[in-house]
Amino acid sequence: MATNAAATLPPPQQRSEGIAIRRGIVLVLMTLIIPGSAQLAAGNKRLGRIALRVWLTLIALVLVVAVAAVVARPFIISLYANPITLRVLQVAILVLGVGWVVLVVDAWRIANPRAMSARGRVISGVLALAMALSAGTAAWAASGMFGAQSSLVTNVFTGGGDGQATDGRYNVLLMGGDAGADRWGQRPDTMIVASIDAETGRTVLFSLPRNLQWAPFPKDNPLHAQYPDGYWCASQECLLNAVYTLAVENKDLFPDVKYPGAEATADVVGEILGLDINYWAMIDLKGFEKLIDAVGGIRLDINKRIPIGSKTGSKGVYGYIEPGKNVLLDGFHALWVARSREGSSDYERMSRQKCVINAMVKQLNPTTVLTKFNDIASASEKVVATNIPSEQLGTALDLALKGRSLPMSSVNFTPPLIKPVKPDFPKIREIVADKIAASEAKDRPEETTPSADPSPAASGESAKPKPKKDSKTQTENLDTICKVSS
């Protein structure tokens, strides 16, 4: 019986080769899961201890950061967004990746491939090579992402804004125009102020028409001396959006200011609304197309057929965005939703622009940012100029995360609410104050609104004539204009 059993066993060399290949596969997988474990088990124990300590230290750091991100999220984001931190991470991840590749190759060496069969050497070698390439590729990609983030923070978030909240709010001016990153001198077609509650992130959007006249310069702005009674000229070309160009043409009045047009526009808009503008961001609408594509598009309910092109343009109207529910828009079509003027007024266009902004805020999720960050960062450098400093990114992103689940309310300062030719600035400021008070009251249900019987100005309506609800000059909730998919 013993003789028959022995006869059924594989030859000793075959058994030895089988053990060797299994040992090689196990050691490689051990290294992939716990770097240094293969060396501790069967190789250079000193190397294994060093690798394991590094691995455990990294796990501990991740846990500490995860806990800190819960209790002090703005600080962690600001620390992470520091260009020095990002450069350190860029280099460190490459070093760790190289180390991991070395450990995988060493694990395969420890398994003694010469003791394996030819087939075993191929199998274990391919596995080790695949694991090494995976570790190296992941490290290279992560390093590239940190490098892109560092470049974005360094080149875009150059600072200069005011990080101090006023009356518990941050006010950010968003400007959009068809200008490239190297030619920011064109007039902004879009001017929207996002007034953000510093605690809850709840946001109110205020849109101003580009053709508003008599725009007032604050007394501390260098252009106030030239236009003490407001920006006006006989040719009627002194419109709100021309303040940008005016400041650029008089840049000698703004020494050491990189973007005098943006700074002057922020001053004027703040004076109109009665708000202190903390930051501004200038968005190139042509480059905006690339940014939308980088995040995979946005989804909107389109309630009205939107022309692509213009009858006065060289191509004419050459297409349409058809109405529909939950329409996926790529960058090209999202841009035309925001900019199309054919068959509609500037005021309707302002509402559509806020819809696009709302969709970006609500649909840009962390997974998309992480998986497509290099594309987003590359597009952002060409799309955005801003005076938000990198150290304030933590606060800004924290508020964005808080506010994305809350409905945005909105005011369009358009006819019949105001007359752009001769705007009632005190009325505008009163509407802004009342709208912000109403927004803040939503987060304090125990309080009542300031007035049980609000005046027409307080409710955002003009007294004569009373605007119809479908005029879209004002709305309590932006979703009533454009339903944004979650």
**Domain boundaries along the sequence of the chain:** 11-156, 169-480
Do residues 223 and 250 touch, judged by C-beta distance below 8 A?
Answer: yes
Cβ atoms < 10 Å from Cβ of 43: 19
Give the chain's mean pLDDT: 81
Buried-exposed string 66-105: b where 16+ CB fall within 10 A, e elsewhere: eeeeeeebbebbbebbbbebbbebbeebbebbebbbbbbb
pLDDT digits (tens, 9 = 90+) for 260-305: 999 999 999 999 999 999 999 887 776 778 788 878 888 888 888 8
Q: Which helix (H) or strand (E) holds 326?
A: strand 324-329
- Which residue carries 């419109």 as its tokens? 239
Of all residues in the chain, what percent carry a pLDDT higher than 70? 80
Count CB atoms within 10 A of the CB of residue 407.
18
Q: Which pLDDT value is given to residue 71?
A: 86
Parallel, antiparallel or unpaired: strands 474-475 and 409-412: antiparallel
How many other β-carbons are positioned within 10 Å of the β-carbon of residue 397? 16
Specify the CATH number of the domain 169-480.
Answer: 3.40.630.190
Say which residue, 450 or 82, is predicted with more confidence: 82
Round to whole Å and give the CA distance between 460 and 159. 34
Tell me the pLDDT tens digit for each residue of 394-428.
Answer: 888 888 888 878 888 888 898 888 899 989 999 99
Which of 70 and 260 is assigned the larger pLDDT? 260
Whole-number pLDDT of residue 372? 61
pLDDT above 80 (res 11)? no
